[in-house]
């Protein structure tokens, strides 16, 4: 059966590749963009399959209208893809308040708001998929992109909790975590904080690398789009899906280091338990608590 997709940020980058793949499969798309005229080629090529919608994802009224318009036009939403976003590079203290707010508004608050607006329809359907386009930067911190990663870490935590809430309703949540892909993320879509003294060998080197044009990511956005189209057909999709070998290498190394640190400091961690907590996790109450946390 054909699916109805709602995709934010459809006019460029990974969102455009995904929109193209969904349309080629024969599904229908409510494709949102700040400038929906950039989607006209899709409208011409796939008449009746695409509904182009103007959407500023930070505007709650526009979010509500876009979702209502989609439901009226297609009758339902089967797959929500929170893709719209952008990167920013700089030292933490160098960002303006406006730059911080813009990152959190677009990359964290907007996906939460759109998810919340779509959920009542999926709940009534007792079905749906929610794909949150995060990043390996939502799993591993890197100097120079801390505020961007704060949003992505937040999106991951939100999605993990959400997945447990909606699983009994037939709704599946998948956090997509790309490494570097050949989009304009580090190009035209990248913004920068002002340069300040003291960060030349950390943040400065990352900014120079992005600006130099030497950053050639390994990931192919068209291949990533195909994987995302396929994953919603899987009966048991993963909660987290890393895309790209770069992401696999970075996340594996990070997880190994984190586990080693956890074990090194485990006795210190346990030393803060109340005396009454000894052997707690061997009790029925403790086992039930762990089950609730899974």
Burial class of residue 245 (count of CB atoms within 10 Å of its CB; 0-12, 13-18, 19+): exposed
Q: Which segments within the chain are labelled E, that is strand?
A: 4-7, 28-33, 50-54, 79-82, 88-89, 128-133, 171-178, 191-192, 240-243
| 134 is annotated as an active-site residue | yes
Active-site residue (options: 17, 148, 159, 172): 148
Catalytic residue among 11, 134, 156, 159: 134
Q: How far apart are CA 20 and CA 71, in angstroms?
A: 21
Question: Residue 144: CB partners within 8 Å, gap ≥ 6?
Answer: 89, 90, 91, 202, 203, 206, 207
Query: What number of residues does the chain have?
Result: 294
d(CA 289, CA 294): 9
- CA–centroid distance for 170 within its chain: 20
C-alpha 42/C-alpha 34 separation (Å) is 16
Residue 147's CB is within 10 A of a number of other CB atoms, namely: 21
Burial tier of 176 (Cβ tally within 10 Å: 0-12, 13-18, 19+): buried
152 is catalytic: yes
∠ CA(104), CA(12), CA(194), 5° rounding?
45
Q: Of 3, 28, 152, 172, which one is the catalytic site residue?
A: 152
Cβ partners under 8 Å of residue 216, min gap 6: 182
Rounded Cα distance, 244 and 232, in Å: 18
Q: C-alpha angle 65/29/133, rounded to 5°?
A: 85
List the catalytic residues.
134, 148, 152
């Amino acid at each position: 059966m054909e699916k109805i997709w709602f995709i934010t940020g459809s006019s460029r980058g990974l969102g455009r590749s995904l929109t193209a793949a969904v349309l080629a499969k024969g599904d229908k798309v409510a494709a949102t963009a700040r400038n929906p005229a950039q989607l006209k080629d899709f409208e011409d090529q796939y008449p009746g399959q695409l509904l182009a919608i103007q959407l500023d994802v930070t505007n709650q009224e526009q979010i509500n209208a876009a979702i209502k318009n989609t439901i009226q036009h297609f009758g339902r939403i089967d797959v929500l893809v929170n893709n719209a976003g952008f990167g920013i590079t700089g030292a933490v203290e160098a960002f303006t308040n406006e730059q911080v707010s813009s990152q959190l508004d677009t990359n964290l608050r907007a996906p939460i708001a759109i998810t919340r607006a779509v959920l009542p329809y999926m709940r009534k359907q007792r079905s749906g998929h929610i794909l949150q386009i995060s990043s390996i930067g939502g799993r591993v911190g890197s100097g120079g992109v801390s505020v961007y990663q704060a949003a992505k870490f937040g999106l991951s935590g939100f999605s993990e909790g959400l997945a447990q809430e909606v699983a009994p309703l037939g709704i599946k949540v998948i956090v997509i975590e790309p490494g570097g892909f050949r989009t304009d993320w580090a190009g035209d879509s990248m913004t920068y904080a002002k340069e300040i003294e003291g960060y030349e060998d950390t943040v400065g080197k990352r900014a120079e690398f992005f600006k130099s044009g030497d950053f050639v990511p390994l990931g192919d956005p068209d291949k990533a789009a195909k994987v995302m189209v396929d994953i919603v057909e899987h009966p048991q999709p993963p909660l987290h899906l890393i895309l790209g070998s770069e992401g696999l290498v970075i996340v594996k190394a990070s997880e190994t280091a984190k586990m080693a640190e956890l074990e090194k400091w485990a006795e210190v961690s346990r030393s803060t338990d109340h005396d009454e907590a000894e052997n707690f996790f061997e009790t029925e109450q403790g086992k039930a608590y762990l089950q609730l946390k899974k």
